[in-house]
Structure 1
C-alpha cells in the first residue's frame, strides 16, 4: 500500500476530545461456571441498526470484520471512544487471567478494567456474577448480574454499551476459535438468568442480537497500543479504516523533555482494497528513541476537513 512521509512544517489542529470514564468499578468477584441451554432461533434484538447520537456525523454503514483465530492469549476488548463529536467502538488487546473461558475473560475485562487509551471509556460495572456459553456454531449466551448496569446512561449511550458487549463477546469467541467466524454470530444477554431485562433503563434484552453496523470506529490504530515501548529503528504501525481503498492522512508529534510536543513526520497512505485485508493500512517508519503521538484520520474530500481521527501515544527505546 502506498505511503509518503516528509518532515512536518506546521502541525494541524487534529485532536480528539478525551472521553470521560463513566463510573468506578466494583471489586472483582469470581465468575459463575454454569452453562446455559440455548433455545431455538429468536427474533433479532431491538437495537436500532445504526444508532447515532443527536448532532453527530453519520459514520460509514459498515461493521468491523469478525476477528480471526489467533495464537495469542490476549483478549480482544471493545471500548467506547470519542472522535470529535462522534462516539464509536474501539478495540484493544488485553492480557487476562486464564481461569475462565475466553468469552468470559474478555467480558470481565470490559466490565472491570480501565482502557489503556485515555480517550476510551466503559459504562459497565464489574458484576458479581458473569457466565457465558456457546450453543451450536453461532449463538453466544451471556448471563450477567444486574449490578453490571449501575450507570446512568441516555438511550444512545445505552445502545452503544450493549453493542460494546456484543462486539467483545463475538470477538473473543472468534479469535479463540470457539465459533465459526464465517457466519453471522448472535448474542443473547440474560440478567440473573432471566430475559426481558431493561438494560440501563433503555434497551430490552433477551432476544438474539448481532453486531450493529456503523458503530465501529471509521479509523482505528491497531498497533502500537497506547503507551507501549517499541524497539528503535524500523517501527511498524498498523490500523484499519472502514473505507477500503480510502486515503488516510497521518502525522507524528515528538515530545520534548519539558513535556512540549513538536511536529516530527507527516504523510499519506491508502487503506487496502484487497478482500480479506480490506481497510487495513501499514506504515514502516525509521524513528529514533523518543516519546511520540501518532494521529491518523480519513482524508477530507472536495477540500473538506479530515475526519474520524484516532490518536496513539507510544515510546521508541
Structure 2
C-alpha cells in the first residue's frame, strides 16, 4: 500500500498558512513550535507548489471532505465525497463530517474531534467564517500536523462552498476560524487563529484516485476510473490487483497514462477498464524519471459485481 494507516460562525472573518507554520494574511507568526508527541512522523510534502483547483458546482448532495493521509515519507490531503444530513448548510455539513466521521479509506485519518458547537457563514463572495467550540481541538499534535489539520479544515470549507455554488470560484477564497466566538485561540497549542487564511500550496496529494471511492461496488463490464495529479502532463503508472483465495492479491492489469493538460481539466486522468466480477485494488503513482522509482502512490479498493 502506498500510504500507511496512522495509529491513531458567528461573525464574518478569514485565514492563510504556510507549511509547518501557518502564517496568516497580515497576522503574526504562530505561537508554539514544540510538540510533546510527534504526530506526523513524516517530512513536509515534496510536491508542486500549487493547491488543488477549487471544486466545481455539482448537483449531488454529497459533501466534499478532506482527510489526511500518508504517501511514502510525506503527508498530504485527500478528498472523499460523503453522504451527509441536510439540516445544516453545505459548509457546516462538510465540516461536521470531517470532525465526527471516519474516512471511507482506511489509509486516511482526521485529528479533529466532534465539536459541541459548529456554525459557518459566508460574507460577500469570498469569505467563509467558521465558529467552532474548543473541544474540536482535543488532540495532541506536533506543529507540522497541526498545520495540516488547519489546512484540512480550510480545504473542506472552501470545497463545500464551491461545490454548492455559494462562493465565487473566480477569486481567492479566504477562511477565518473563530473558537467559541473569539479570534485569539491557539489551535492544538501551535497555530494562532483569527486572521484570514487560504489554501496552502503543496499540501494536496500529488496523485489521488477520485472514483470509484473506497470499497464501493460497481457493475461489471467497462469500469471508469478517474483521478487527478497536481502535475498536468505528468506520466502515471497504474496497476490493478485482483483478490484471490485467502485474501491474496495478484497482478491483473497494468499500464501507463498521462495527466491531462486541458484548461479546466488540468491534471485529470481517466481509465476505462473492462473488468469481470471480483475484488480489486488499484494503485496509481507518478512515474519515476531516469530509472528512479515511482512516487506518491495512491491506492483504492473496490468491488465489481
Return the TM-score normalized by structure 2.
0.91
Paired residue for 1:11? none
Aligned counterpart for 2:2 among listed residues 16, 20, 32: 16
SS of match in other structure, 2:153: helix
Aligned alpha-carbon RMSD (Å): 1.5
Aligned counterpart for 1:165 among listed residues 153, 162, 170: 153
User: For the Cα contact (< 8 Å) 1:111–1:122, is it kept in 2?
Assistant: yes
After superposition, give the CA deviation of every residue in 1:268-314 in whole Å (9 maximum; x if it has no partner).
00000111100000000100000000000000011111010000000
User: What aligned pairs does 1:1-317 form with structure 2 within 5 A after superposition?
Assistant: 15-22=1-8, 36-38=10-12, 45=16, 47-49=17-19, 55-56=43-44, 58-317=46-305
| Partner Cα distance (1:220, 1:212) in 2 | 18
User: For the Cα contact (< 8 Å) 2:3–2:297, is it kept in 1?
Assistant: no
| Partner Cα distance (1:53, 1:65) in 2 | 27
Q: Which runs of 5+ in 2 are unaligned?
A: 22-39
| Partner Cα distance (1:17, 1:180) in 2 | 34
Aligned length: 287
| Partner Cα distance (1:187, 1:68) in 2 | 18
- How much does 1:115 deviate? 0.1
- How much does 1:61 deviate? 1.0
Distance 1:50 1:215, change over 3 A: farther
| Partner Cα distance (1:89, 1:49) in 2 | 13
SS of match in other structure, 1:201: coil
| Partner Cα distance (2:11, 2:110) in 1 | 29
SS of match in other structure, 1:61: coil
User: For the Cα contact (< 8 Å) 2:215–2:303, is it kept in 1?
Assistant: yes
User: For the Cα contact (< 8 Å) 1:50–1:212, is it kept in 2?
Assistant: no
| Partner Cα distance (2:92, 2:154) in 1 | 12
After superposition, give the CA deviation of every residue in 1:165-186 in whole Å (9 maximum; x if it has no partner).
0000000000000101111000
SS of match in other structure, 2:66: strand
Distance 1:286 1:168, change over 3 A: same
| Partner Cα distance (2:253, 2:80) in 1 | 25
- How much does 1:18 deviate? 2.0
SS of match in other structure, 2:147: helix
SS of match in other structure, 1:258: helix
After superposition, give the CA deviation of every residue in 1:71-121 in whole Å (9 maximum; x if it has no partner).
000000000000111100000000000000000000000000000000000
Q: Which runs of 5+ in 1 are unaligned?
A: 1-14, 23-34
- How much does 1:19 deviate? 2.4
| Partner Cα distance (1:21, 1:196) in 2 | 31
Return the TM-score normalized by structure 1.
0.88
User: For the Cα contact (< 8 Å) 2:42–2:75, is it kept in 1?
Assistant: no
